[in-house]
Amino acid sequence: MKTPYDIILAPALSEKAYSGFAEGRYTFWVHPDSTKTEIKNAVEAAFRVKVVAVNVMNTLGKDKRLGRFSGKRADRKKAIVTVQAGQKIEALEGLI
């Protein structure tokens, strides 16, 4: 059985993610094999909020070079979670 912390890896912190806080949208990096239902249940269990919608996207890792050596960053999955109106995730609100 997966715990909420196996599914939610970290909050995605960027200017675009911060701008969603006002509308109740929070962005997380999630496990690549997780589904929308698993993400919803994990956020509700971890932060004690009611989730209204979950949008997910797969982001491909960039190709990177250092001199003659080339490599690739890992592919990741991002979830944008919308919580019920009037609710907040206090743990992320303090990061602004």
Yes or no: say if 80 and 55 are a contact pair by the CB < 8 Å rule.
yes
This prediction has a pTM of: 0.89
The SS3 call for residue 40 is: helix
- Three-state SS letters, 36-85: HHHHHHHHHHHHCCCEEEEEEEEECCCEEEECCEEEECCCEEEEEEEECC
Q: pLDDT per residue over 2-35, tens digit each?
A: 899 999 999 999 999 999 999 999 999 999 999 9
* Domain-embedded: residue 57: yes
The arithmetic mean of pLDDT across residues 39-47, rounded, is 96
In this prediction, residue 93 has a pLDDT band, given cuts at 50, 70 and 90, of: confident
CB 72 within 8 A of CB 61: yes
Residue 18 within any structural domain of the chain? yes
Report the distance separating Cα 52 and Cα 80, nearest Å: 11
| Tally of structural domains, the chain | 1
Position 96 pLDDT exceeds 90: no
The answer to whether residue 94 sits within a structural domain is: no
Question: Quick check: is 91 in a domain?
Answer: no
**Bridge partners, 56 (sequence order):** 79
Domain assignment present for 42: yes
